[in-house]
């Protein structure tokens, strides 16, 4: 599980689909392509000129030799054409290499010929040389053909400079990519933090004052978060005010009832009014608890689960003195979280277990420490819950079997779930085979 | 007879509620005076010591109940009962820490309020009728007659509830006293669910003892209550 978790983090951060890599690769490829294209053009011009020059130099020097030899031979009676080639290939040229050429004298007579027949006229180039006797000769050769350009380009790329340019362009691309991704990531974290903790921190001025599209986005998000927060606060304030306003007349109602009670003791109607006042008061309290969990975000504290369970058990001992509670705490069950919310959750879950137990019933509570989490199990031996009802249990205002119509509002478990959600924990309900209900609360140790 | 009635100052910004409560409490046998603002309450309390108890609402515009409590506590030890918003644990605990004797969640049954007021008054006046008892432990000298606790001849500034709690713990030193029993004996009322009053009083006593350089003499027994350690027990704990 840790490994897959690690892998998903890696995938999330460095996955191919991430914008970072897309921008990085796009820019890097683009810069490499530009480099190749530039290299191609440069190499093309430069090296073909170079090659042509060298080629013609070779041609001219060979042709001059031939002409010189030709004129020299012409002056001697034992002139033999075939020896000319041998002489040249033996004595003279680079590795005995004979350049294919035709040399004509100024009369148009071919004095030398070496493999040029198959070359079309339009592929031939002409040069002029002059012999020792100052006669002009025409030399026909094949147009120079520079070697394949990509070979030259590749050859150039093997050099150190190109290596440096390659790395530098990678760095620049990464930097560019990062500079786009960084503000995006920051904005993402900013909205996530608001969504999770309702904590509004102002965005850095630098980001807001960028002036580019990212700056606009930051401004928009800032605006949205502030607007949402204002709306949420207004709702919270309204709920708080309404409940407070409801409580004032309720308090007066209760005193009035008590005054009637003073005059006519043992009135069952007054008792009814008292009961209903208490009930309305509890409902107001639960709605407030529910909304408080949703809205407020106290600071994270070290919370001792055993102590909180014990506190909830103590609270229940006062309300349900006939229920026996068996608590088996484990060692090392501290987590970082919101102790008040946790206490509320334990109160409600343990309270439910007590409420649905018969007089003299047993509620078993245990905590157990895991490496990354703490598990609290609350088990009662009451009537339990049908399978079909199980999923509805967590809905607000749902009461199992509608049995306890006069006590509770069905908000207790919803409040508990909300508190556990706040800790990114999990609530599991199961019906053990031997009856009753088993509630398991899994709380991660670290709240991220 | 009129003079024998306990005199209560009732402070709440809800005038209608004040009138109703006052009617109820008068019928219940108290003499009641009502005020609707914190400032008026402070002025009235500082000019006169005729009241036996103050019932103080926390949520008031202007000077809140907590402000009144702070100002009055700095000057006198009159028993104060706070009316808190239900479920606002913080308010209750802050109130107790600032020296309130007890609290009651509003809306409340007025009969409960009457009972609480009687409990507070009975407790604070107990000392005057009892004969003088001295108890001594860990250098703390308790004088039940004068209702003072002395450490090295310096009086510990304890409120009524704190004094009662400390004297109960010292009387039964070495035994664990359950929170139920302590609440009943110290505050004269049964322990309620979500009732942190005893815990706050004990924690205040601990702080005050620590300020007088007496440490770790009151032990918490998880899930049960508190225990004042005897000298040998304290040695053992430390050893």
Closest CA–CA distance from residue A26 to any residue of chain B (Å): 57
Give the pLDDT band (50/70/90) at residue B21. very high
Give the pLDDT band (50/70/90) at residue B54. very high
When the pLDDT of each residue in chain B is averaged and rounded to a whole number, the result is 83
Q: Which two tokens stand for residue B85?
A: 């918003």
Contacts of B21 in chain A (CB under 8 A): 255
With a cut of 80, say whether residue A178 has pLDDT above it: yes
Give the pLDDT band (50/70/90) at residue B1. very low
ipTM over 0.90: no
Q: Which two tokens stand for residue A213?
A: 């599209």
Q: Give me the residue from B24, B87, B193 closest to A258, CB to CB.
A: B24
CB A73 within 8 A of CB A79: yes
With a cut of 70, say whether residue B129 has pLDDT above it: no
Give the per-residue pLDDT at A357. Answer: 84
**For the CA atoms of chain B, what is the radius of gyration?**
18
| Chosen from B29, B223, B224, B225 to mutate, greatest number of chain A CBs within 10 A | B223
Give the per-residue pLDDT at B196. Answer: 81
Q: Is B14 on the interface with A (CB under 8 A)?
A: yes
B29 → chain A, closest CA residue: A262
Order across the sheet with A124-130: list the strands. Answer: A110-114, A101-105, A136-142, A124-130
| Chosen from A239, A248, A250, A251 to mutate, greatest number of chain B CBs within 10 A | A251
Average pLDDT value for residue range A423-432:
86
Give the per-residue pLDDT at A38. Answer: 79
**A259·B111 Cβ contact <8 A:** no
Give the per-residue pLDDT at A144. Answer: 76
With a cut of 60, say whether residue B92 has pLDDT above it: yes
With a cut of 90, say whether residue B22 has pLDDT above it: yes
Kindly give the residue spans of alpha helices, DSSP state H, lying in A264-304. 268-295
B191 → chain A, closest CA residue: A318
| Chosen from B10, B30, B87 to mutate, greatest number of chain A CBs within 10 A | B87
Q: Is B49 on the interface with A (CB under 8 A)?
A: no
When the pLDDT of each residue in chain A is averaged and rounded to a whole number, the result is 79
Contacts of B28 in chain A (CB under 8 A): 262
A346-356: buried (b, 16+ CB within 10 Å) or exposed (e) per residue?
bbbbbbbbbbb
With a cut of 70, say whether residue A408 has pLDDT above it: no
Q: Give me the residue from B27, B107, B192 closest to A262, CB to CB.
A: B27
With a cut of 80, say whether residue A216 has pLDDT above it: yes
Instruction: Determine what percent of chain B is predicted with pLDDT higher than 70.
Output: 92
Give the pLDDT band (50/70/90) at residue A415. confident
Give the per-residue pLDDT at A57. Answer: 87
Q: Is B111 on the interface with A (CB under 8 A)?
A: yes
With a cut of 90, say whether residue A65 has pLDDT above it: no
| Tens-place pLDDT, residues A270-303 | 888 888 888 888 888 887 777 777 766 677 888 8
Instruction: For residue B14, give the DSSP letter.
Output: -
Give the per-residue pLDDT at B24. Answer: 92
Q: Provide the 3-class DSSP secondary structure of residue B9.
A: strand
**Whole-number Cα distances in Å, B105 to A241, B49, B57, B91, B125:** 17, 26, 10, 10, 25
Q: Please count the residues of chain B.
A: 239
Give the per-residue pLDDT at B2. Answer: 43
**Cα separation of A409 and A407, whole Å?**
7
CB B40 within 8 A of CB B57: no
Residue B139 CB contacts under 8 Å (≥ 6 apart), including other chains: B151, B152, B214
pLDDT: which is higher, B216 or A149 = B216
A292-321: buried (b, 16+ CB within 10 Å) or exposed (e) per residue?
bbbeeeeeeeebbbbbbbbbbbbbbbbebe
DSSP string, A41-56: HHHHHHHHHHHHHHHH
Preceding peptide of B107 cis, ω within 30°? yes
Closest CA–CA distance from residue A217 to any residue of chain B (Å): 40
Q: Give me the residue from B110, B190, B193 closest to A258, CB to CB.
A: B110
Among B90, B17, B27, CA closest to B60: B17
Average pLDDT value for residue range A212-225:
86
**A259·B87 Cβ contact <8 A:** no
| Chosen from B28, B90, B107 to mutate, greatest number of chain A CBs within 10 A | B107
CB A194 within 8 A of CB A183: no
**Cα separation of A9 and A12, whole Å?**
5
Closest CA–CA distance from residue A410 to any residue of chain B (Å): 18
Q: Give me the residue from A244, A261, A310 closest to B223, CB to CB.
A: A310
CB B202 within 8 A of CB B163: no
Q: How many CB atoms lie within 10 A of CB A421?
A: 15
Q: Which two tokens stand for residue A89?
A: 């290939």
Instruction: Determine what percent of chain A is predicted with pLDDT higher than 90.
Output: 3
**Cα separation of A189 and A186, whole Å?**
5
The vertex-B133 CA angle with B128 and B137, nearest 5°, equals 130
């Amino acid at each position: 599980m840790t490994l897959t978790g690690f892998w998903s983090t890696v995938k999330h951060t460095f996955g191919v689909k991430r914008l970072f890599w897309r921008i990085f690769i796009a820019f890097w490829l683009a810069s490499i392509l530009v480099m190749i294209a530039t290299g191609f053009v440069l190499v093309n011009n430069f090296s073909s000129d170079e090659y042509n020059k060298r080629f013609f130099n070779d041609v001219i020097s060979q042709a001059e030799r031939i002409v010189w030899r030709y004129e020299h031979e012409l002056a001697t009676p034992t002139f033999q054409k075939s020896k000319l080639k041998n002489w040249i290939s033996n004595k003279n040229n680079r590795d005995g290499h004979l350049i294919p050429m035709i040399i004509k004298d100024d009369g148009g007579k071919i004095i030398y010929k070496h493999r040029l027949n198959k070359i079309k006229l339009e592929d031939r180039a002409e040069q002029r040389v002059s012999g020792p006797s100052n006669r002009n000769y025409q030399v026909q050769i094949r147009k120079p053909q520079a070697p394949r350009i990509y070979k030259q380009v590749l050859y150039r790329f093997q050099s150190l400079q190109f290596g440096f340019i390659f790395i530098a362009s990678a760095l620049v691309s990464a930097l560019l990519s990062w500079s786009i991704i960084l503000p995006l990531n920051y904005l993402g974290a900013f909205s996530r933090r608001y969504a999770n903790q309702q904590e509004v921190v102002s965005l850095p001025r630098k980001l807001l004052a960028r002036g580019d599209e990212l700056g606009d986005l930051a401004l928009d998000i800032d605006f949205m978060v502030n607007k949402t927060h204002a709306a949420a606060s207004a709702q919270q304030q309204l709920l708080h005010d309404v409940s407070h306003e409801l409580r004032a007349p309720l308090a007066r109602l209760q005193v009035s009832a008590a005054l009637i009670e003073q005059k006519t003791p043992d009135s069952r109607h007054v008792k009814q009014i008292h009961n209903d006042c208490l009930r309305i008061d509890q409902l107001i309290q639960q709605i407030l608890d529910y909304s408080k969990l949703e809205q407020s975000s106290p600071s994270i504290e070290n919370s001792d689960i055993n102590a909180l369970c014990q506190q909830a058990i103590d609270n229940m001992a006062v309300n349900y003195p006939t229920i026996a509670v068996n608590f088996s705490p484990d060692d090392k069950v501290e987590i970082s979280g919101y102790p008040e919310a946790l206490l509320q959750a334990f109160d409600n879950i343990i309270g439910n277990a007590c409420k649905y137990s018969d007089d003299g019933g047993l509620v078993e509570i245990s905590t157990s420490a895991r490496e990354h989490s703490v598990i609290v199990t609350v088990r009662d031996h009451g009537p339990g819950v049908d399978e079909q009802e199980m999923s509805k249990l967590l809905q607000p205002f749902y009461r199992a079997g509608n049995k306890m119509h006069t006590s509770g509002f069905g908000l207790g478990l919803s409040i508990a779930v909300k508190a556990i959600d706040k800790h990114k924990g999990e609530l599991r309900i199961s019906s053990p085979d031997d009856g009753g209900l088993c509630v398991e609360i899994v709380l991660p140790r670290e709240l991220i | 007879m009129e003079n024998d009635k306990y005199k209560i100052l009732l402070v709440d910004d809800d005038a209608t509620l004040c009138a109703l409560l006052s009617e109820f409490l008068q019928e219940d046998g108290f003499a009641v005076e009502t005020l609707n603002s914190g400032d008026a309450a402070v002025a009235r309390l500082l000019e006169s010591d005729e009241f036996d108890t103050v019932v103080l609402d926390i949520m008031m515009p202007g000077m809140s109940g907590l402000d009144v409590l702070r100002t009055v506590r700095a000057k006198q030890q009159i028993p104060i009962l706070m009316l808190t918003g239900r479920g606002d644990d913080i308010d209750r605990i802050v109130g107790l820490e600032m020296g309130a004797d007890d609290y009651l969640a509003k809306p409340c049954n007025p009969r409960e309020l009457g009972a609480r007021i009687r409990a507070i008054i009975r407790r604070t006046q107990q000392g005057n009728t009892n004969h003088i008892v001295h108890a001594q432990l860990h250098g703390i000298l308790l004088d039940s007659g004068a209702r003072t606790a002395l450490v090295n001849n310096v009086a510990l500034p304890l409120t009524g509830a704190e004094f009662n709690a400390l004297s109960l713990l010292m009387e039964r030193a070495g035994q664990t006293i359950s929170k139920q029993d302590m609440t009943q004996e110290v505050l004269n009322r049964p322990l309620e669910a979500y009732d942190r009053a005893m815990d706050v009083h004990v924690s205040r006593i601990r702080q005050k003892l620590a300020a007088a350089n007496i440490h770790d003499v009151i032990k918490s027994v998880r899930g049960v209550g508190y225990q004042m350690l005897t000298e040998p027990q304290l040695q053992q704990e430390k050893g």
